[in-house]
């Protein structure tokens, strides 16, 4: 490859990089969309959110905070909802004829 071809290749690459930089600088920046605001559904959840905010700044154990964190875990894992007996397996009677 000749020296002239190498210089032409480097000049073309530099020109391409300069074009990309100019286009990026000229395009207007679009503001990032704000994350959706999730409001608590009822006053109990609002109270729980306030208590968790208060507990986040504490450094010592607090029984109110322990209860709030437990309630938040139950709400997160949906453990406060009752499950039907068919999902829990309570309606299944042991098979009397089966051997262990």
pLDDT at 63: 84
Check whether 4 has a pLDDT greater than 90. Answer: yes
Q: What is the pLDDT of residue 54?
A: 86
Residue 71 structure tokens: 């309630």
How many whole angstroms separate alpha carbon 76 and alpha carbon 72? 6
**For residue 98, pLDDT beyond 60:** no
| Cut 0.85: pTM above it | no
pLDDT in tens, 21-79: 999 888 877 777 776 666 556 777 778 888 888 888 888 888 888 888 888 888 888 77
Q: Which two tokens stand for residue 73?
A: 């875990």
């Amino acid at each position: 490859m000749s020296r002239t071809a190498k210089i032409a290749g480097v000049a073309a690459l530099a020109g391409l990089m300069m074009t990309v930089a100019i286009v990026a600088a000229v395009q207007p920046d679009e503001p990032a969309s704000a994350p959706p605001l999730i409001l608590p559904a009822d006053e109990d959840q609002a109270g729980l959110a306030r208590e968790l905010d208060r507990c986040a700044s504490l450094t010592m154990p607090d029984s109110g905070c322990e209860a709030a964190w437990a309630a938040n875990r139950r709400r997160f894992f949906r453990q406060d909802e009752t499950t039907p007996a068919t999902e829990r397996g309570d309606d299944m009677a042991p098979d009397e004829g089966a051997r262990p």
